[in-house]
Amino acid sequence: MFESLDVISQQIVPPVLNSFSDQDSRVRYYACEALYNIAKVVRGDFIVFFNQIFDALCKLSADSDANVQSAAHLLDRLVKDIVTESDQFSIEEFIPLLRERMNVLNPYVRQFLVGWITVLDSVPDIDMLGFLPDFLDGLFNMLSDSSHEIRQQADSALSEFLQEIKNSPSVDYGRMAEILVQRAGSPDEFTRLTAITWINEFVKLGGDQLVPYYADILGAILPCISDKEEKIRVVARETNEELRAIRADPAEGFDVGAILSIARRQLSNEWEATRIEALHWIGTLLARYRAEVLSVLDDIFDTLLKALSDPSDEVVLLVLDVHACIARDAPQFRQLVVFLVHKFRIDHSLLEKRGALIIRRLCVLLDAERVYLELSTILEGEADLDFASIMVQALNLILLTSSELAELRALLKQSMVNPAGKDLFVSLYSSWCHSPTATISLCLLTQAYQHASSVIQSLVEEDINVKFLVQLDKLIRLLETPIFSYLRLQLLEPGRYIWLLKALYGLLMLLPQQSAAFKILQTRLRTVPPYSFSGEQFKRTSSANSYSQVHISGGSHSTEDGDNNQDTGIVPNGINFMVRLQQFEHMQHQHRMHTKSQLQARHSTSSTISQEVQRPEEQQRPPPVQDLSRLERLMTATFIS
């Protein structure tokens, strides 16, 4: 009897299957009824036709005729019962067909497919989990279906599979990780949440299997940290922390370069939270795999420098932390400062907006003295004199105002008696010469008052311009801050600090009388007590105004202004102020020549353009009389309070 049933099924089933494609809906309906009756009789013997039957049912599930659909559903339930109780069903032969059909968009077909996946997964003898990578992407694709019912069914199936993964000792995490990474970037919110939830579990469970996929996983996680949906952000942050806590070995396939590449790419992400986490990753990799990171440093260094222009202060501070970590080694430190100066040179707005923040933070992370010495060395030989002047003025302002540089200021105040302070003063002086006001500020800070007076008197007409007066205005206001409280207290002994008084009066004489800075300094000088003055002291001061005075050598040295003539030679601490003044004058001469050449070039260009556009009769006219008082009025207006 069994042999006759098998023969019947072999002879009858194929013609019936062909009838499923008939144009007449009645033929398709009767074909469903006929196959239903055959299946009830032969049961498991027609499993050999399962793929053809499944394919036919897949199409009939979306049939245009409601009666055919109803008949197909009845047949489908019977076939499911037969398959679940049969030991002849081959999952290996079925999976390719299922994988092919998973991309169908028809909602009825999708329901049909999810139903079969759920039924087959419930059969203990069928290992659907082992073939999950083959149809996982299709299930995720259904999560964004317009039908709520289909989304719910797909989510239910995925939840069941995830639970099985948690309980299974053997899972192919790698292939599925690739699918999840793609789905984590889906425009559909529910799909992203499900994908990131799966990734979270995979990171916890995957172990060594996921090592080659860490970069891809990180690339999926970082954007989700800034997702508009809070649930996704929470899961993404948790996953990110889990992933960062794993200590993988590069020898076992952990690709540090790939992780760095992902982090570098995310530094340009539009969302601040993602950029911050990308920087945390770079910092983590530097701490754990320093040698590997430094070997590919050129690939990320330029991006890190560009990140200094980030609109977020928190991002900039983290970038500086990363830079400081890189710059622990001397070559990298030098490279960092050189690149930083170059960045300031080509982007003046960065210096203006973030210069103070960047310099102050680096001083905290890398030692203020080391940072300033390196910057000074670079700026001393800077070819762009205009930039050098601007940069020195910025560094000088940071030096005089930042709490982070308090120790550096304290060291400079000891320059006249402390060898370390002296070396620092001499090193900074070489580049500070680019700016007269910065040089004067440095001298006032180090209490080299006589030299400050000499610098002031060495200024020539070309040096006293609007830019200089603007900087001088800032200096006068700084003299009223707590940083220069020691200087103001020294004014209580004018007879002892004669050169300080002369330097301050020299500054007063350079300021326009109507400026606010003039009134501030004049008011301060009026408070100087007169009782300590002596005619003899003024006489000595006025006569000691050249470098041809007596050379002082040997003996103990005091920082008191009236105790020595600093600019008559080499003071006991070894600072040759005569050479320093020559150095300053030489640098200022270079700046004057540079300014003249720029003016000549502009004049030549404007003259050429003017001659080209002038009419012939205009060329015969004499040039208009220049308003010689325009600059004077501009300078005065700048300083009116």
User: pLDDT (tens digit, 9 = 90+) per residue, 64-74?
Assistant: 889 999 999 99
Which of 529, 563, 580 is the endpoint of a domain? 529
Tally of domains within the chain: 2
d(Cα 48, Cα 323) in Å, to the nearest integer? 67
Q: What is the DSSP letter of 621?
A: S
Q: Which two tokens stand for residue 195?
A: 């994908």
Q: For residue 43, is it within any domain?
A: no
| Span 506-530, pLDDT tens digits | 999 999 999 999 999 999 999 998 8
Could you please report the per-residue DSSP string of 415-470? TTT-HHHHHHHHHHHHHHTT-HHHHHHHHHHTT-HHHHHHHHHH--GGG-SHHHHH
pLDDT digits (tens, 9 = 90+) for 526-542: 999 885 445 455 455 44
Write phi, then psi, for 300 (nearest 5 degrees). -120, -15
Instruction: Give the pLDDT score at 125.
Output: 87
Tell me if 210 sits within 8 A of 175, measured CB to CB: no
Single residue among 529, 562, 578 that ends a domain in this structure: 529
The answer to whether position 448 is within a domain reads yes
Residue 294: C-alpha distances to residues 246, 317, 460 (Å) = 21, 21, 50
Quick check: pTM over 0.85? no
| pLDDT at residue number 230 | 95
Q: Which of 230-234, 417-421, 473-477, 522-526 has the lowest mean pLDDT?
A: 417-421
Structure tokens at 479: 């003299």
Within a domain: residue 155? no
Q: Does 193 reside within a domain? A: yes
- What pLDDT digit, counting tens, does each position of 482-491 carry? 999 999 999 9
Mean pLDDT of the 467-495 span: 94
Higher pLDDT, 331 or 620: 331
What percent of the chain has a predicted confidence (pLDDT) above 90?
Answer: 63
Among 395, 552, 555, smallest CA distance to 471 is for 395
Considering Cα of 541, then 546, then 547, then 550, what sign does the dihedral take? negative
- Looking at the chain, the number of H-run helices and the number of E-run strands are 33, 0
Please report whether residue 304 resides in a domain: no
Helix (H, G, I), strand (E, B) or coil at 2: helix
- Residue 559's pLDDT is 45
The pLDDT assigned to 500 comes to 96
Of the ranges 7-11, 370-374, 631-635, the best mean pLDDT one:
370-374
| The pLDDT of residue 557 | 39
Name the more confident of 249 and 389.
389
Residue that is last in its domain, among 254, 277, 294: 254
Q: In DSSP terms, which residues pair with 576 in a beta bridge? A: 570
pLDDT at 266: 95
Position 467 in a domain: yes
Residue 211 is part of a domain; what is its CATH number?
A: 1.25.10
**Across the chain, what does the average pLDDT equal?**
85
**Which domain covers residue 246, as residue numbers?**
172-254
Could you report the per-residue pLDDT of 564-623, keeping only the tens digit for each? 455 554 454 688 999 999 999 999 999 999 988 888 887 777 666 555 555 544 444 444
Q: Is the pLDDT of residue 562 over 70?
A: no
| Residue partners of 547: CB distance under 8 A and separation at least 6 | 567, 568, 569, 578, 581
The token duo for 189 is 């919110």
Question: What CA–CA distance (Å, rounded) separates 202 from 190?
Answer: 18
Q: Does the pLDDT at position 62 exceed 80? A: yes
